[in-house]
Structure 1
Amino acid sequence: MPSHIMLSYQWDDQALVKKIHDRLKDDGLPVWMDIEGGVTGNINDAIAAGVEEAVVICPFMTPAYQASRSCKKELNYADTREVIIVPVMLAKNWEATEWLGLITAGRLWVDFRNAERDEEHFEMCVRSLEEEIMFNAGHLLAEEEPQTEVVDQPETPKHFRKKKPGRSFRHALANLYIYESGEQIIHPATDTRHTVELDETPGDHCYWQEIKGNGCKYYRNVVTNRYLGFDPNGDEVHSVASPSESEEWLLLVDHTDQSHQRAVIIKNKHSGRFLAVQNGSFTGLTSYNEDCKWFLE
């Protein structure tokens, strides 16, 4: 039965990936890397076994990774076996194309572009990776006991240990969360819409389950089971019991962010509007600016 997280990388990035491997292992995650006892005997057989026993595979994306035949074989095989893919971006001012772009299209990658700037940035990147792994596959992983050899340093809280019920969105500038209030909206065309508000305090009503649609995602509130939607006619964010075109969303990495706080852009697929906050209220913008930036929590 699949049991580990496989790290797939091109050899130029081995030192960084080894550091990430050690950090994940120290935090109790079952992680597999070829140079850490993962390859014995025939290399093709060993890599195939690594993929076959993987719950998650993390491709560390660079132009060299995309150009590598070995990396292509690994990720294609994992994709064929429907292994969960959590991409990691290492290259600046570049995006995956060709076979790699096809496999990772629509997937939320974890930003490691400036991970080596200092240890604080590295720790933030690792935490983001752990949280994305747990969001996608926390129910499938058997965690190990974290290593506790260093006793002179204070223990860092391991936030990834508890799988969160869904995604929580905090606005980068306003520090407000998307909150399902459950109050019905008086609407001339329908009586099934409820209000979605902004709230200062995170809680269960701020968690949204991510459900894959046809080229989009739906977000269903974990408490009310109602779907997040947007009406451009009234510039209104709402929730409904059953999703339609108004409830189709695209979740994109914010390429411009340098904070390593898992910055994302939420775009309504049907209207093409970016979900933003201005003057403490929701609005849909036709072009991106800082008002459109959200942090995943």
Structure 2
Amino acid sequence: MLSYQWDDQALVEKIYNRLKDDGLPVWMDIQGGVTGNINDAMAAGVEEAAVICPFMTPSYQASRSCKKELNYADSREVAIVPVMLAKDWEASEWLGLITAGLLWVDFRNAEKDEELFELCLRSLEEEIMFNAGLLLAVEEAPGEETDEPEPPKSCMKRKPGRRFRHALTGLYIHDSGEQQILWPTIDDGRNTVELSETPGDHCYWEEVKGNGCKHYRNVVTNRFLGFDPSKNRVHTEASPSASEEWLLLVDQTDQSHKRAVIIQNKHSGLYLAVQNGHFIGLTAYDEECKWFLE
């Protein structure tokens, strides 16, 4: 479900058409979504939605209709994938409360640049599939019948989790599945996490909601990603504790329109970075803290 303020209707309709062309079942009010009483129609749209995408602007935040719509979606625990349209602005008040801690998709500057629009659209589709892919029946758009064989069309599939690729080095966060040997006589139950040049199943991390944070569980080892600030060491453990609490933030300084994020350890407050091929926690953000989602 696409939730927007009418000033942005043209852009949202363009996004609607592209999502539909790519096989996503998508709902928009002006595309047959509203019949009869508008409140009943909006409520029905929310109730049938697997995910709702609010297109955030100051006008959206000031809209009573948008507030009712998103508040209702939040009360029903519909997955929310925010889309940011406004430059130099942050959501506050009711909108800031609902979207706090959520990873928004950056569509700033995308309206006037087709190349950026395509990058943003891919990011939006990735985030929708990550949050609600299991609930969506993604269909291939019907093609015209011809005598010539058509190449197979790639169909969106839900990935098993998130992969984190370091922006500067291109290295992935990889759970080795091997136990750390810190001291010969001490077993602290931690596994070694490495930086890998090649992506693989051990580089996928499921996102598990915590108390004001997120935990990341490796899809192969089922162990939780953690950070020891005293040793600048990344590890995994069998169950999450304070060292396995993370905040995933949009990197608002990034101009690439890729899915650039900052990974912050909630317990230590340090930003996860890579220096000289090794993990390190930094107290202040710089380019070494930038990661791309894949």
Q: Considering the TM-score relative to the shorter chain, is it more than 0.5?
A: yes
- Aligned counterpart for 1:181 among listed residues 176, 181, 196: 176
CA distance in 2, matches of 1:157, 1:95: 38
Q: TM-score, normalised by structure 2?
A: 0.95
- Aligned counterpart for 2:284 among listed residues 281, 287, 294: 287
Report the Cα offset of residue 183 of structure 1. 1.9
CA distance in 2, matches of 1:156, 1:254: 35
- What amino acid maps onto 1:38 in structure 2? G
Q: 1:177 to 1:138 in 2, by over 3 A?
A: same
Q: 1:62 to 1:155 in 2, by over 3 A?
A: farther
- Aligned counterpart for 1:66 among listed residues 54, 61, 69: 61
Displaced runs of 4 or more, over 2 A: 147-151, 154-159, 187-191
Matched, 1:264 2:277: no
Matched, 1:78 2:73: yes
- Aligned counterpart for 2:126 among listed residues 120, 124, 131: 131
1:296 match = 293
Report the Cα offset of residue 144 of structure 1. 2.6
Deviations 1:117-141 (A, max 9, x none): 3111111101100010000100001
Q: TM-score, normalised by structure 1?
A: 0.94
SS at match of 1:294: strand
Report the Cα offset of residue 115 of structure 1. 1.2
1:211 match = 208
SS at match of 1:36: helix
Report the Cα offset of residue 97 of structure 1. 0.3
CA distance in 2, matches of 1:199, 1:173: 13
Deviations 1:16-66 (A, max 9, x none): 000000000000000000000111111111111111111111000000000
SS at match of 1:31: coil
SS at match of 2:67: helix
**Aligned-residue RMSD, C-alpha:** 1.8
Preserved CA contact (<8 Å) 1:28 1:147: no
1:247 match = 244
Q: Identity over aligned residues, as a percent?
A: 78
- What amino acid maps onto 2:195 in structure 1? L
Q: Which blocks of at least 5 consecutive residues in structure 2 are unaligned?
A: none
- What amino acid maps onto 2:40 in structure 1? D
- What amino acid maps onto 2:191 in structure 1? H
Preserved CA contact (<8 Å) 1:56 1:137: yes
Preserved CA contact (<8 Å) 1:27 1:158: no
CA distance in 2, matches of 1:144, 1:113: 29
CA distance in 2, matches of 1:249, 1:29: 30
1:102 match = 97
Deviations 1:173-193 (A, max 9, x none): 000000111221122464311
- What amino acid maps onto 2:215 in structure 1? Y
Preserved CA contact (<8 Å) 1:55 1:83: yes
Preserved CA contact (<8 Å) 1:27 1:147: no
CA distance in 1, matches of 2:290, 2:145: 38
Q: 1:234 to 1:263 in 2, by over 3 A?
A: same
CA distance in 2, matches of 1:278, 1:99: 39
- What amino acid maps onto 1:65 in structure 2? Y
Matched, 1:143 2:138: yes
- Aligned counterpart for 2:221 among listed residues 224, 227, 239: 224
Report the Cα offset of residue 114 of structure 1. 1.9
Q: 1:256 to 1:166 in 2, by over 3 A?
A: same
- Aligned counterpart for 2:233 among listed residues 233, 236, 252: 236
- Aligned counterpart for 2:32 among listed residues 29, 33, 37: 37
SS at match of 1:30: coil
Preserved CA contact (<8 Å) 1:56 1:84: yes
Q: 1:155 to 1:124 in 2, by over 3 A?
A: farther
1:3 match = none
Number of aligned residue pairs: give it. Answer: 290
SS at match of 1:94: coil
CA distance in 2, matches of 1:62, 1:222: 36
Report the Cα offset of residue 271 of structure 1. 0.5
Preserved CA contact (<8 Å) 1:26 1:147: no
CA distance in 2, matches of 1:107, 1:266: 13
Matched, 1:50 2:45: yes
Q: Which blocks of at least 5 consecutive residues in structure 1 are unaligned?
A: 1-5
Q: 1:90 to 1:155 in 2, by over 3 A?
A: farther
